[in-house]
Copies of this chain bind each other. A is one copy, B any other.
């Protein structure tokens, strides 16, 4: 016979699929000997039977009937009787919690008779009839679909007529009247009387829960979250206890440690003579849990011991719901408590110190989002609750900031010099905005995706950033932006939440930046557990120093293009591009070389002897070209005619610059540029060594698609290095590696294994070309795809395993086949994505490289996904 009833005492917390999360938890607590109101569960298997047969088989009904009667007997009550009537709650509970499922029904078992019994027993008709009207309302709503509003509207009218300011003023008679009216409202909408048979109530509630498994909202939710449809839901039936049955009663929530700070010791609040709903309703202000120690020291002690026991049992900070029914303590729920990042870090480290959990367990309790929160300032949660965002874009770089808004990099920079806190708001940013971006507290763009220029630079800078905020329309000329009716003018104060993508007017208060001590402890642990290395994408002194402070193993990607965008350099670079003879070009490059050498010295010095991988110039040349209004100036500087300048600019325009004349293609067309960069690296390295500074430089060639591209460039650069070595009479040991950024590079990586000393996947470009999704343009339809479920995940945030991942796997196999020891890394955005790291390990990546402020999360994710290693200190329980 199918088992239709599982008593709490028969289950364990592992049986979530059968008993639902809620039921399994109640079972566990019951077996721990905790004071849990008794009850039983109709398991999820019965749901499937019901859904298939469309009726509840007699055999099952019999078991449920026997169970509810058994419960009444155990509790010395009667179900549907006048004497000590047994009331129960009925709740749904699936393996995964799921919005859209049926809600709770409380007080089931009341009818026109038993309510009188309850009133007599408690001596409190207000309480009894309030319970009854709640049952009618909840049952009508969740079992029969009679909208709550029909009941609420009447109640509101009634109180108005009686001049009652609140429910507190309702008398027993009032509630009794309300019960009658509610029953007629119920009848009006259902064409049947409110059921007086408690067992009929119970069966209807159970089948309503079962049916709700297939309601459209639940189905959509499952489909979106890939939860199987054939799990079904369980139903938990539990005796009611009442925190609102007098001054010896109450209800509350207790945390075993402070969820905001992690401080040990019971933390929470309670309300005397109240039910759970009252706490949520916020009508009365709860008391801190310590007040219970004064008012009911015995109960407080009992609660404290119980809480400690639960924390011991679950080995984590618990969030406990309790009710005191006429001096008797009951636990209704316990779960791992939600906590702030600071608390999480504190609790995890404390619990390791207390010998409760292993270091690995401690790390497993920290989420990447928590790391972000530990790193970045946030808006105060209270302030956020009250504030209303006027727009929302993509959360491109976490943190929070307020400041005065400016619409050009120049204006932002100028304002910042006066000490003003500035925000930069642009249609989209370009490399020339860099100086304005550096001084801004936050960067906002109306266009662009998570890997747009603004997003990438902001993450690099650790600056909060919101991109693709399409509701904004920016007018640089008028120095204003519109967002619907809202007009934003230069200097206006805005607040930007880079973790949610929300924008607010005015200044919001902040929480303070968390102490770095805990973070450093966690980082140290994570690094010890990590089996992949984390390198940094960084090129400025500040970034490199930040990266090393976060434990970067070296610099995996130092881009050189940003270095060309300073005012003086940019004009020189333009001369390089516009040069008509090699002599002209070499002359301009010679001047740039001096800058580059200084840059490389600073970079290599900051890297403190760790490997510093410098990628040669990558972007299309036209990114460096003078704008419309700069052409005359360009003509003047280069002593060329305007016509020549314009012709050359025209020639360099490209239809699809991302797949155009860039990367190593440039290096092959203009060998002088890469030769200059390589020579500058060599000279910088030698000069530093002469000063006693340790240096390990490596060169990375971007956008290789053909083995011959690599071979030709390698030969050229090796000659430059050899020349430098000869001139400087020093071995330089500069390795040359290649980026794998195009699908073809993946397919021919093996062929390149002899020539490239190491490899680095550029997953952004690779994703772009594998899908044919332009990073700059795909924002709009990728969002639509995510919403409609065509895409489950943004491939620029989480590595696309089926597509890009397959190509990467092929590339790695090709390389390992010939050169098993070659180092292979990932320097794209997904390299630091916790959800991608297990896959990257599986396919054989040696290291990831990411922007400095993502390094801690990357270490953590690697540690969390690493195979568990034996530890000296293990859990004591």
Query: Is B776 a contact of A654 with CB atoms below 8 Å?
Result: yes
- A sample of 18 more A-B contacts (CB under 8 A), given A473-B647, A660-B774, A742-B771, is A656-B656, A657-B777, A658-B659, A659-B659, A659-B777, A660-B777, A661-B781, A668-B785, A668-B790, A669-B781, A742-B772, A743-B770, A743-B807, A744-B802, A744-B804, A747-B802, A747-B806, A748-B803
A712 at the interface (CB under 8 A from B): yes
Could you tell me the distance in whole angstroms from the C-beta of A399 to the nearest C-beta in chain B?
Answer: 27
| Interfacial residues, chain A to chain B (CB-CB below 8 A) | 473, 647, 654-661, 665, 668-669, 703, 705-706, 708-709, 712, 741-744, 747-748, 751, 765, 768-774, 776-778, 780-781, 784-785, 788-791, 800, 802-804, 806-807
The 8 Å CB contact of A790, one of B647, B706, B780, is B706
Query: Is B744 a contact of A771 with CB atoms below 8 Å?
Result: yes
CB-CB under 8 A for A791 and B742, given A659-B656, A659-B772, A769-B659: no
Could you tell me the distance in whole angstroms from the C-beta of A402 to the nearest C-beta in chain B?
Answer: 29
CB-CB under 8 A for A768 and B659, given A647-B473, A668-B784: yes
Query: Is B742 a contact of A770 with CB atoms below 8 Å?
Result: yes
Could you tell me the distance in whole angstroms from the C-beta of A804 to the nearest C-beta in chain B?
Answer: 8
The interface residues of chain B lying within 8 Å CB-to-CB of A703 are 772
Could you tell me the distance in whole angstroms from the C-beta of A167 to the nearest C-beta in chain B?
Answer: 47
For this complex, 9 residue pairs linking A to B, each with C-beta atoms less than 8 Å apart, are A654-B776, A656-B659, A658-B659, A659-B659, A661-B780, A708-B791, A742-B771, A742-B772, A769-B770
Could you tell me the distance in whole angstroms from the C-beta of A582 to the nearest C-beta in chain B?
Answer: 15
**A800 and B706 alpha carbons, distance in the complex (Å):** 11
Could you tell me the distance in whole angstroms from the C-beta of A518 to the nearest C-beta in chain B?
Answer: 42
**A803 and B704 alpha carbons, distance in the complex (Å):** 13
CB-CB under 8 A for A747 and B712, given A656-B776, A772-B765, A774-B654: no
Identical copies in the complex:
2
**A742 and B800 alpha carbons, distance in the complex (Å):** 14
Q: Nearest 7 CB-CB pairs, A to B? A: A659-B774, A656-B774, A744-B803, A655-B776, A743-B743, A660-B777, A742-B772
The 8 Å CB contact of A705, one of B659, B712, B747, B773, is B773
Could you tell me the distance in whole angstroms from the C-beta of A337 to the nearest C-beta in chain B?
Answer: 38
The interface residues of chain B lying within 8 Å CB-to-CB of A659 are 656, 658-659, 768-769, 771-774, 777-778
Query: Is B747 a contact of A803 with CB atoms below 8 Å?
Result: yes
Residue ID in chain B nearest A473 by CB atoms: B647
Could you tell me the distance in whole angstroms from the C-beta of A143 to the nearest C-beta in chain B?
Answer: 35
**A669 and B751 alpha carbons, distance in the complex (Å):** 41
**A632 and B708 alpha carbons, distance in the complex (Å):** 52
CB-CB under 8 A for A708 and B656, given A772-B765, A777-B661, A784-B668: no
Could you tell me the distance in whole angstroms from the C-beta of A662 to the nearest C-beta in chain B?
Answer: 9
The 8 Å CB contact of A744, one of B708, B741, B772, is B772
Could you tell me the distance in whole angstroms from the C-beta of A412 to the nearest C-beta in chain B?
Answer: 23
**A657 and B654 alpha carbons, distance in the complex (Å):** 11
The 8 Å CB contact of A772, one of B705, B748, B776, B789, is B705
The interface residues of chain B lying within 8 Å CB-to-CB of A781 are 661, 665, 668-669
The interface residues of chain B lying within 8 Å CB-to-CB of A473 are 647
Q: Which of A703, A771, A772, A804 is packed against the most chain B CB atoms within 10 Å?
A: A772
